[in-house]
């Protein structure tokens, strides 16, 4: 018993390992159901559980907070699914949503990871369902509450360990005003979605989130994160293509590798590694679900390039103007928000 207690204590230490264990436990019912039946609703359950479980690592998520987030996610999903099928309505909605995201992170006490992963869940799940219409979102939306219940059991009862939470410290970059930060996020996400829709790319959500996530509270931080996102996408997509080529003749091994990557996709604290893992997973998961792994990899590269490029261009215009206005004493910088994932 002493040896078992020592082993469990060692497992409690690294934060990345806690996230991997929680993710594996959270997604296991949905992925097991999908692997046994082929029902894509199992994947929808697993994705909802994954996004909700990541929020737990912020340290501020409570059972009541988890329930509130689940209700919001399930309520928003059908409407966002409809919007992603109608670009003219989607673009202004995206701009408003990303502006709200920044305002909540900068002006409220809601943990940054919570609002970001709520946004990611709704945006990404809706993108997968939009081609089939709003009716396709009903069952996934109804699966969010049971997924939240399962996540609550995992996070607050079965495996409540967070390990040593890392505090992200803002870098030396000059902080933009709240107004400028909101403007950058809204313009970048709106322009990125417009470009992706116009080019008729699949997985437009990758362009939108790439534009949104690289817009940090400071111009220098934004440029650094832009470079890291592009680097991670290049590394991850290359690795995904290689893994797909190697494992294509061995479907069972490919399924095991994909499942292991799902477990660790949110574990890394280093942004380049995180983006690399998620980019490789996008290719392998798309192949497992629809056989379109190569197309998904190419779409991810295109969308990330579009989103990052547009975000950098917007920041290059807005940030200097914001700096000049604040230097003139017309605006005051606000405290920087938590770093986005």
What digits encode the pLDDT tens for the residues 218-242?
889 999 999 999 999 999 999 999 9
* Residue predicted with more confidence, 6 or 21: 21
For the chain, the domains span 14-161, 173-330
Q: Which of 83-87, 109-113, 171-175 has the highest mean pLDDT?
A: 83-87
Q: What's the CA gap between 278 and 274, in Å, rounded? A: 6
Q: What are phi and psi of 61, to 5 degrees?
A: -80, 130
Q: Nearest to residue 216, comparing CAs of 70, 84, 112, 326?
A: 112
pLDDT value for 113: 86
Q: What's the CA gap between 192 and 206, in Å, rounded? A: 9
Q: What's the CA gap between 217 and 221, in Å, rounded? A: 7
Q: Looking up tokens 């078992």, which residue turns up? A: 4
pLDDT value for 8: 57
Confidence class for position 139, pLDDT limits 50, 70, 90: very high
Q: What is the distance of C-alpha 295 from the center of its chain?
A: 20
Cβ-contact 301, 281 below 8 angstroms = no
pLDDT value for 109: 79
**Nearest 5 degrees, angle CA 68-CA 340-CA 154?**
45
Residue 212 scores a pLDDT above 80:
yes
pLDDT value for 335: 56
Cβ-contact 50, 266 below 8 angstroms = yes
pLDDT value for 247: 95
| Residues β-bridged to residue 175 | 218
What average pLDDT does range 61-83 have in this prediction?
95
Residue 166, number of CB atoms within 10 A of its CB: 10
| Residues β-bridged to residue 218 | 175
Q: What's the CA gap between 340 and 259, in Å, rounded? A: 25
Residue 170 scores a pLDDT above 50:
no
Residue 26 scores a pLDDT above 90:
yes
Q: What's the CA gap between 55 and 61, in Å, rounded? A: 7
HSE, CB side, 13 Å, CA atoms: give it for residue 255: 9
pLDDT value for 331: 52
Q: Which residues contact 5 (CB under 8 A, 6 or more apart)?
A: none
* Residue predicted with more confidence, 168 or 304: 304
Q: What's the CA gap between 65 and 278, in Å, rounded? A: 26
Average pLDDT of the chain?
89
Render 96-164 in DSSP notation, one character per residue.
HHHHHHHHHHHHSSS-HHHHHHHHHHHHHHHHHHGGG-GGGGHHHHHHHHHHHHHHHHIIIII-----S
How confident is the model over 290-300, as pLDDT tens digits?
888 999 999 99
How confident is the model over 196-206, as pLDDT tens digits?
999 999 999 99
Q: What's the CA gap between 233 and 288, in Å, rounded? A: 20
Cβ-contact 70, 26 below 8 angstroms = no
pLDDT value for 112: 76
What average pLDDT does range 63-69 have in this prediction?
94
Kindly state the tokens that stand for 148: 């939240």
Residue 43 scores a pLDDT above 80:
yes
What average pLDDT does range 118-135 have in this prediction?
95
Q: Nearest to residue 311, comparing CAs of 204, 196, 158, 189?
A: 189
Q: What's the CA gap between 26 and 206, in Å, rounded? A: 24
Alpha-helical (H) ranges within 38-86 are 41-55, 63-84
> Percentage of the chain surpassing pLDDT 70?
88
């Amino acid at each position: 018993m002493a040896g078992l207690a020592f082993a469990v204590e060692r497992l409690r230490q690294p934060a990345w390992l806690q996230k991997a264990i929680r993710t594996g436990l959270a997604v296991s019912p949905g992925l097991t159901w999908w692997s046994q039946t082929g029902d894509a609703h199992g994947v929808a359950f697993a994705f909802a559980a994954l996004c909700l479980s990541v929020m737990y690592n912020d340290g501020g998520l409570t059972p009541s907070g988890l329930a509130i987030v689940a209700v919001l996610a399930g309520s928003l999903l059908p409407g966002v699914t409809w919007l992603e099928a109608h670009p003219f309505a989607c673009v202004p909605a995206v701009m408003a949503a990303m502006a709200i995201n920044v305002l909540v992170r900068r002006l409220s006490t809601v943990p940054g990871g919570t609002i970001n992963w709520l946004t990611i869940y709704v945006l990404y799940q809706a993108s997968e369902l939009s081609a089939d219409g709003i009716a396709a979102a009903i069952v996934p939306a109804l699966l969010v509450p049971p997924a939240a219940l399962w996540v609550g059991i995992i996070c607050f009862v079965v495996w409540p360990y967070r390990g040593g939470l890392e505090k992200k410290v803002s870098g030396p970059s000059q902080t933009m005003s709240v107004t400028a930060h909101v403007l950058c996020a809204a313009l970048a996400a709106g322009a990125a979605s417009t470009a992706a829709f116009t080019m008729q790319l699949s997985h437009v959500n990758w362009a939108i989130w790439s534009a949104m996530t690289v817009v940090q509270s400071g111009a220098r931080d934004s440029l650094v994160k832009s470079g890291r996102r592009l680097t991670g996408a290049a590394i991850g997509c290359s690795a995904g293509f290689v893994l797909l080529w190697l494992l294509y003749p061995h479907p069972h091994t490919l399924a095991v590798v994909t499942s292991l990557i799902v477990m660790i996709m949110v574990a890394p604290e280093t942004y380049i590694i995180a983006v690399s893992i998620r980019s490789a997973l996008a290719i392998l998961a798309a192949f497992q679900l629809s056989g379109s792994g190569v197309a998904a990899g190419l779409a991810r590269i295109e969308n990330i390039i579009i989103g990052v490029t547009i975000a950098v261009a917007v920041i290059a215009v807005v940030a200097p103007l914001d700096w000049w206005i604040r230097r003139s004493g017309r605006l005051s910088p606000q405290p920087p928000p938590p770093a986005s994932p």
